[in-house]
């Protein structure tokens, strides 16, 4: 059975007033409205519809890529007391645990660092994230101070470096080029 939160309302067929489908449609609209938010950094309206973003637990802005410290233990738990803005500090790559996966497989992940408590988190890149903003974050991460990189390595977070520029461009744009 299809999960109603993962499919747009229009895929369920026509709804006449007062029946179960129209109530479901209203519930879906209210559910999505509840999950929409304003970015704490750029004040852009962030839509949380999984059909647009490709992610279920949306907590970063697709325009400036800033996040908010919401999750404490796992994605979507919303248990963090901090609630401070989280700055995008770089890109990483999700580890692939498949035995026969290609050497550098895995999707791109955003690395966020909380401005208040310093906690770092990895977030899946969403389908509607601005690819140019992702490149800006990647290029800025190449200039990160050494202390931050050592700390991230201690947390087993390995940011992508200059040697990964072609792979980043390939995953974002389908084009393999070297960053200047």
Q: By the 8 A CB rule, do 109 and 158 touch?
A: no
In this structure, what token pair is assigned to residue 71?
Answer: 């999750």
Is the sign of the CA dihedral 36, 157, 41, 174 positive or negative? negative
Q: Is 180 inside a domain boundary?
A: no
Counted domains in the chain: 1
Q: Is 10 inside a domain boundary?
A: no
pTM over 0.75, yes/no = no
Place of tokens 């509840």: 34
Kindly give the residue spans of alpha helices, DSSP state H, lying in the chain: 20-35, 50-53, 131-141, 146-154, 165-173
Domain that holds residue 75: 36-173
Is the sign of the CA dihedral 105, 107, 108, 109 positive or negative? negative
Per residue of the chain (180 residues), give pLDDT as tens: 555 555 444 444 444 555 555 554 544 544 444 578 889 899 899 887 887 788 877 889 999 999 988 887 877 777 888 889 999 999 999 876 655 555 556 789 999 999 999 999 998 899 899 999 999 999 999 998 888 888 888 888 889 999 999 989 998 988 765 544
């Amino acid at each position: 059975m299809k999960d109603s939160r993962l499919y747009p309302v229009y895929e369920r067929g026509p709804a006449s007033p007062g029946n179960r489908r129209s109530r479901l449609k209203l519930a879906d609209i209210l559910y999505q409205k509840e999950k929409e938010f304003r970015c704490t950094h750029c004040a852009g309206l962030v839509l949380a519809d999984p059909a647009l973003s490709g992610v279920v637990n949306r907590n970063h802005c697709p325009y400036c890529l800033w996040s908010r410290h919401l999750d404490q233990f796992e994605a979507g738990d919303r248990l963090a007391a901090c609630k401070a803005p989280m700055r995008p500090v770089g890109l990483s790559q999700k580890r692939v645990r498949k035995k026969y996966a290609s050497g550098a497989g895995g999707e791109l992940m955003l690395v966020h660092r909380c401005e208040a408590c310093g906690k770092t988190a990895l977030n899946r890149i969403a389908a509607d994230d601005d690819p140019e903003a992702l490149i800006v974050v990647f290029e800025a991460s190449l200039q990160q101070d050494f202390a931050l990189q050592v700390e991230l390595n201690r947390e087993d977070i390995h940011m992508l470096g200059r040697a990964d520029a072609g792979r980043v461009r390939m995953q974002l744009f389908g084009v393999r080029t070297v960053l200047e």
